[in-house]
Amino acid sequence: MLVPLQKDDFELVSGWLADPEDHFKVCGNAFSYPLKREVFELFFVESSGDPDVRLCFKYCVDGKAVGMVHFTRIDRQNDFGHIGVAMVNPQARSAGHGRAMFAALLKLGFDQLNFHRIDLNVFEFNQRALKFYQNAFAFQVEGLARDTIKKDGAYFGWFTLSLLRSEWLTQQ
């Protein structure tokens, strides 16, 4: 179940991002490591109150949060939403929670928010995530933005993937 993210979820989310590699895979350089409370509250909680800006959720199973995901860059005129940060608690991975969380988010996006298109970016070094989106939900790779992020002196790109409502409906 998707539940709006709250300020008191900081400890939970920052704990999931305690490992620097996990933090980088999820956040890139957008948020300094370690995640700071004021950044979390401003970006994930306060701006989430405006559904035309960002909608942030934790994903709960049996009342316990196991993941976090959000829509950002919501474009109501063009019926478009971008999935920004998405993560599953490292201790809860490989249990199907990521798939269930994304299924719930896509249902929200296409059924309730009436999106025509949903997209996301995946760093080229995160092959596990890339295969997940392609295999689990048939996201289509649109291209590689080269050298978009720098880590330890090396540059990496990200893939943009998208899913259209018509493609999602054929999976239902």
User: Mind listing the domains of the chain with CATH numbers?
Assistant: 2-171 (3.40.630.30)
CA dihedral over 91, 45, 100, 62, signed as positive or negative? positive
| 32 token code pair | 């300094």
Confidence (pLDDT) at 45: 66
CA dihedral over 146, 83, 96, 100, signed as positive or negative? negative
pLDDT of residue 142 exceeding 90, the answer is yes
For β-strands 140-151 and 117-123, DSSP reports them as unpaired
pLDDT in tens, 13-70: 999 999 999 888 888 888 889 989 988 888 776 666 566 778 889 999 999 999 999 9
Q: How far apart are CA 151 and CA 142, in angstroms?
A: 24
Confidence (pLDDT) at 25: 87
Q: What are phi and psi of 77, to 5 degrees?
A: -65, -35
